C-alpha cells in the first residue's frame, strides 16, 4: 500500500501495518473518537493500471464473517470501497499465536498452553463446520489472542474459506485439483494431492499446528527445493518435498514425546474420511486428557 495513504473513508486514520492476510494487508486504525480497529485493505487496481479481474476476495471474506458471526471471530463493523482499495474494518486483536511463539526464548510453547489453545481452536472449528464452512488455512498466524483478554483465542482470515455443504448436502468428492489451497507447512496430505477439502483437512492442519507449537518445528520444516512448480522439471519442488516427508512421517513419529491424548488426536484426525462428520466431543476429550497429562509432567 502507498505510504501516502493515511485516511480511509470519512472517519478512519491508518497507523502501522500489523499483519498480512491471504489477499490483503492489515493496518491499525482509529476513528475520530479514538476507538481502535484493524483495517484490512485489498488493492483494487493493478500496478500497471486498470482494475483487477475477478471478484473481490475481501468482499467474499466479509460475507464469510457475516455468515459465521459469533464467538471466536472478530466483529466486523464496515466493508466499503475507498479510492483504489476495498476496505474491511474489524476488531483489533492482540498478538497472533505465531508472534507469541517467535517471542518465546525456547521457540516453542509450554505443552499445557499448546493444548489449551488447541481446545479453543477445535471449538471454533466445530462451530464453523456446523455452519457448513471450512477455513482451509489453519495455521498459527491465523489465530490471535484477544486484545484485552489474552485467554481468548480468535480465528481470522477467511479469504480461502469455502462451503462444504449446501442446504445440508455435502459437496462431492473430487481429486486432481490444480494447486494447493492453504499453507504447505500445515496443509493436509490429501490437500497436497489435489483432493477436495472437507472437515478432516482443517483438523489435520490443527494437529500439525499443535505439534509445531509444542516442539517448535515439524519434520518437514526447513526443506529446500524450488519454490515454483514445473511439471517438466526433474528437481523436486518444495511442495513435493514437504509431501514426501509428511507421507513418510508416521503418527507415532510425529507424536514422539507428546502427551498420549495428543498422539491419539493426531492418529484420529489423520484417518478421517472425506464425508465423515468428526466426533468433536471425542477429539476435545483427547486434547483435554493430554492437557491433564501435561500438568503432571
| Alpha helical stretches, state H, 87-196 | 97-103, 111-130, 189-192
Three cell numbers, residue 13: 486514520
- The active-site residue out of 31, 84, 112, 137 is 137
Which of 159, 181, 6, 31 lies closest to 85, judged by CA?
A: 6
Active site residue 137: yes
Neighbours of 274 (CB within 10 A): 19
Beta bridge partners of 144: 96, 154
Three cell numbers, residue 178: 490444480
Distance, CA of 178 to CA of 124 (rounded, Å): 29
Task: Give φ, ψ of 29 to 5 degrees.
Answer: -145, 155
Task: Give φ, ψ of 238 to 5 degrees.
Answer: -60, -40
CB neighbour burial string for 6-36, b if at least 16 within 10 angstroms, e if fewer: eebbeebbbeeebbebbbbbbbbbbeeeeee
DSSP state of 74: P
Q: What is the distance of C-alpha 219 from the center of its chain?
A: 20
> Are the beta carbons of 251 and 219 closer than 8 angstroms?
no
First-to-last C-alpha distance (Å) of the chain: 48
Distance, CA of 256 to CA of 262 (rounded, Å): 10
Which of 165, 135, 117, 124 lies closest to 21, judged by CA?
A: 135
Q: Measuring CA to CA, how many Å separate 26 from each of 1, 11, 19, 40, 74?
A: 10, 17, 5, 4, 13
- Provide the annotated active-site residues: 137
Amino acid at each position: 500500500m502507498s505510504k501516502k495513504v493515511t485516511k480511509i473513508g470519512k472517519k478512519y486514520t491508518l497507523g502501522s501495518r500489523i499483519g498480512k492476510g491471504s489477499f490483503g494487508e492489515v493496518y491499525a486504525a482509529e476513528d475520530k473518537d479514538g476507538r481502535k480497529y484493524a483495517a484490512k485493505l485489498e488493492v483494487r487496481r493493478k500496478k500497471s493500471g486498470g482494475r483487477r479481474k475477478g471478484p473481490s476476495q475481501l468482499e467474499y471474506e466479509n460475507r464469510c464473517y457475516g455468515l459465521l458471526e459469533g464467538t471466536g471471530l472478530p466483529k466486523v463493523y464496515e466493508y466499503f470501497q475507498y479510492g483504489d482499495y476495498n476496505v474491511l474494518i474489524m476488531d483489533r486483536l492482540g498478538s497472533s499465536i505465531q508472534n507469541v511463539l517467535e517471542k518465546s526464548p525456547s521457540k516453542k510453547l509450554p505443552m499445557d498452553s499448546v493444548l489449551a489453545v488447541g481446545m479453543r481452536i477445535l471449538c471454533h472449528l466445530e462451530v464453523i463446520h456446523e455452519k457448513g464452512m471450512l477455513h482451509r488455512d489453519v495455521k498459527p498466524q491465523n489465530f490471535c489472542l484477544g486484545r484485552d483478554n489474552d485467554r481468548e483465542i480468535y480465528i481470522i482470515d477467511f479469504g480461502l474459506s469455502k462451503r462444504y455443504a449446501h442446504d445440508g448436502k455435502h459437496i462431492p468428492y473430487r481429486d486432481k485439483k490444480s494447486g494447493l489451497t492453504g499453507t504447505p507447512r500445515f496443509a493436509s496430505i490429501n490437500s497436497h494431492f489435489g483432493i477436495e477439502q472437507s472437515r478432516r483437512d482443517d483438523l489435520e492442519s490443527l494437529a500439525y499446528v499443535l505439534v509445531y507449537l509444542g516442539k517448535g518445528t515439524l519434520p518437514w520444516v526447513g526443506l529446500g527445493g524450488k519454490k515454483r512448480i514445473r511439471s517438466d522439471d526433474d528437481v523436486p519442488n518444495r511442495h513435493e518435498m514437504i509431501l514426501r516427508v509428511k507421507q513418510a512421517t508416521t503418527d507415532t513419529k510425529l507424536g514422539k514425546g507428546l502427551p498420549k491424548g495428543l498422539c491419539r488426536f493426531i492418529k484420529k484426525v489423520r484417518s478421517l474420511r472425506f464425508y465423515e462428520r468428526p466426533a468433536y466431543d471425542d477429539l476435545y476429550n483427547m486434547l483435554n486428557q493430554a492437557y491433564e497429562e501435561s500438568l503432571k509432567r
